[in-house]
Structure 1
Amino acid sequence: MHKRILPVLGLILVLPVAVVAARHVDLPRSLFAFAAAPSTLMEGCFDVPEAVAMAGELRDRALRIQTYTEALEAKKAELAQAEQTLRARLSELRAVQTSGQTRRSQASAAVQDDINRLVAVYDVMKPADAAQVMTSLPPDFAAEILMRLTPENGARIIAAVEPGQAAILTTHMGARSARKP
């Protein structure tokens, strides 16, 4: 029976003390004291110089970290904007490049068509008439036309050209072939 009386008596004596202590102590505030403002954390510590110096240093560090974090966020936003601008510019440049290549290939095709028509004209001309015209053209242009003619017609036209001019045209034709890889 003694064993049962002691816990009951202890409970009777401790319960009123716990109720009084709970009224005087704010339990949630004491449990979350670490989240309290720094000024309340320093209450009663202003007479300890080390604590004051440490609190000041921690405050300065917190401000530096906050400033650094804000600067990082600003740089991050700036970089995202720059990346977006660069991507847009890259797509514009690719579109311009594609249209430029299309225009160049169209222009090249048009030039090839013009040259083919011109070659066809010289191909049907009489060799003596074609030779007279060829001697009036710049040698590199005349050589280009002669290279595109059928070998038989090209030979007839060169045979109709005076020998000095024929040598120049033949040299340009050989040089053109040597330039091409």
Structure 2
Amino acid sequence: MSRSILPLLALTFSIPAAAMLWQSQDLSRVFAAFAAPSGLLQGCGDVPEAVALAEELRDRALRIERYMASIDARKEELVEAETTLRQRLSELKAQKGGTRLRRDTASEAVRQDIDRLVAVYDQMKPAEAAAVLTNLPADFAAEILMRVRPETGARIIASVEPRQAALLTAQMGARSVRKQ
């Protein structure tokens, strides 16, 4: 019995809704507020509750407008801040690239200087090179010995006194371990 009532109720509610839609093809008018803000108090000016309600609604509308204006201002500030940050980021990236280029250039110059120095030690007699290397700091002397040709390095180490040769060899081994 209850199943036969459901279609009847649906038909009862849908016919007036369809008739209303058919008569007023403009749906926005159906859902729009019926009272315009200026005519909100028309005929109700003597009712204090209505006047108070209308003033409160007007105040709320003003607060909402101010709040929306502040949101728009904040949006503009955020857009400006984002633009500034993007510009600063691109400047920093350019500086980073310049710094990297200068560092790479300086590293390349140091490498070239070391290569020239190694070439000088490669050309020296082993006994003369050994005499100079024993007066250099051990880590620097080990670096030079690591870069000269192996035959030249072996002759230089053979020309150094045993205690100094052991120290240079240990420095060379420590340098290899540090690089790993």
Q: Same fold (TM over 0.5)?
A: yes
Shift of 1:50: 2.9
Report if the CA contact (8 A) 2:122-2:152 is conserved: yes
| Whole-angstrom distance in 1 between the partners of 2:99 and 2:168 | 35
1:89 aligns to what? 88
Output the TM-score relative to the length of structure 1.
0.77
Name which one, 1 or 2, has greater alpha-carbon Rg: 1
Q: Which residues in structure 2 correspond to 1:25-64 (within 5 Å)?
A: 34-35=35-36, 37=38, 40-64=39-63
Question: After superposition, what is the alpha-carbon deviation per residue over 1:110-138, rounded to whole angstroms, capped at 9, x for unaligned?
Answer: 11000000000000100000000000100
Greater alpha carbon shift after TM alignment, 55-64 vs 76-85 = 55-64
| SS of corresponding position for 1:136 | coil
2:160 aligns to what? 161
| Whole-angstrom distance in 1 between the partners of 2:116 and 2:64 | 76
Say yes or no: does 1:116 pair with 2:122: no
Shift of 1:139: 0.3
Instruction: Name the % identity.
Output: 64
Question: After superposition, what is the alpha-carbon deviation per residue over 1:155-177, rounded to whole angstroms, capped at 9, x for unaligned?
Answer: 10001011111111111000000
| Whole-angstrom distance in 2 between the partners of 1:167 and 1:158 | 9
2:24 aligns to what? none
| Whole-angstrom distance in 1 between the partners of 2:66 and 2:73 | 11
Code of the residue aligned with 2:90 in structure 1: it is S
Say yes or no: does 1:75 pair with 2:74: yes
Shift of 1:109: 0.6
Code of the residue aligned with 2:102 in structure 1: it is R
| Whole-angstrom distance in 1 between the partners of 2:84 and 2:155 | 63
Report if the CA contact (8 A) 2:44-2:51 is conserved: yes
Report if the CA contact (8 A) 2:127-2:159 is conserved: yes
Shift of 1:52: 1.6
| Whole-angstrom distance in 1 between the partners of 2:102 and 2:171 | 30
Code of the residue aligned with 1:69 in structure 2: it is M
| Whole-angstrom distance in 1 between the partners of 2:96 and 2:134 | 41
Code of the residue aligned with 1:106 in structure 2: it is T
Question: After superposition, what is the alpha-carbon deviation per residue over 1:43-71, rounded to whole angstroms, capped at 9, x for unaligned?
Answer: 43122233222212211210111111110
| SS of corresponding position for 1:119 | helix
Q: Where do 5+ consecutive residues of structure 2 fail to align?
A: 1-33
Higher helix share: 1
| Whole-angstrom distance in 2 between the partners of 1:64 and 1:36 | 16
| Whole-angstrom distance in 2 between the partners of 1:65 and 1:106 | 60
- Stretches of 4+ aligned residues off by more than 4 angstroms: 33-36
Alignment RMSD (CA, Å) = 1.4
Question: After superposition, what is the alpha-carbon deviation per residue over 1:71-113, rounded to whole angstroms, capped at 9, x for unaligned?
Answer: 0011011001101100110010000001111111111111100
Output the TM-score relative to the length of structure 2.
0.78
2:12 aligns to what? none
Q: Where do 5+ consecutive residues of structure 1 fail to align?
A: 1-32
